[in-house]
């Protein structure tokens, strides 16, 4: 349920020095996260953000439960395939649309975030595969 959130927090913490480096990051993205009001929920109300990601996680779990029969038999393969689908259909678009398109993040940083979210999606897929077997 919160696997994606926890993965996001770890990814964000590891990448923060690059994400907020004014020498390589767009001033617009930094301002949105740090000074432009309203600040992101993740900054102002992390528990509300966690609740939203939990709801999304439940949705992912329901989707997984609905398609599990069409996924590979192996728990690892099943988790990998589901994580790949979530990553391909969700995370790539979100990073492309928001940080890269709207906020002017450099392609290199946006690409690094997309790669990081691949691992977040894989953790979520593996956890769902273990839970739903």
CA-wise closest residue to 110 among 18, 34, 41: 18
* DSSP structure string for 84-127: HHHIIIIIHHHHIIIIIIIT---HHHHHHHHHHHHHHHHHHHHH
Question: How many distinct structural domains can be found in the chain?
Answer: 1
Contacts of 39 (CB under 8 A, 6+ apart): 33
Residue 1 pLDDT: 44
Q: What is the pTM of this model?
A: 0.86
Give 69-127 pLDDT, tens digit per residue: 999 999 999 999 999 999 999 999 999 999 999 999 999 999 998 998 999 899 999 99
| Alpha carbon distance 92, 11 (integer Å) | 15
Per the structure, the complete domain to which residue 109 belongs is given by: 3-132
């Amino acid at each position: 349920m919160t696997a994606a959130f926890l993965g996001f927090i770890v990814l964000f913490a590891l990448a923060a020095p690059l994400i907020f480096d004014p020498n390589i990051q767009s001033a617009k993205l930094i301002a949105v996260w740090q000074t432009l009001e309203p600040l992101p929920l993740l900054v102002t109300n992390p528990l509300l953000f966690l609740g939203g990601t939990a709801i999304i996680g439940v949705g992912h779990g329901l989707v997984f439960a609905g398609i599990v029969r069409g996924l590979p038999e192996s728990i690892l393969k099943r988790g990998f395939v589901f994580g790949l689908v979530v990553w391909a259909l969700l995370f790539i678009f979100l990073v492309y649309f928001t940080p890269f398109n709207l906020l002017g993040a450099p392609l290199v940083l946006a690409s690094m975030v997309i790669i990081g979210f691949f691992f977040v999606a894989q953790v979520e897929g593996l956890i769902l595969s273990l839970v739903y077997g």
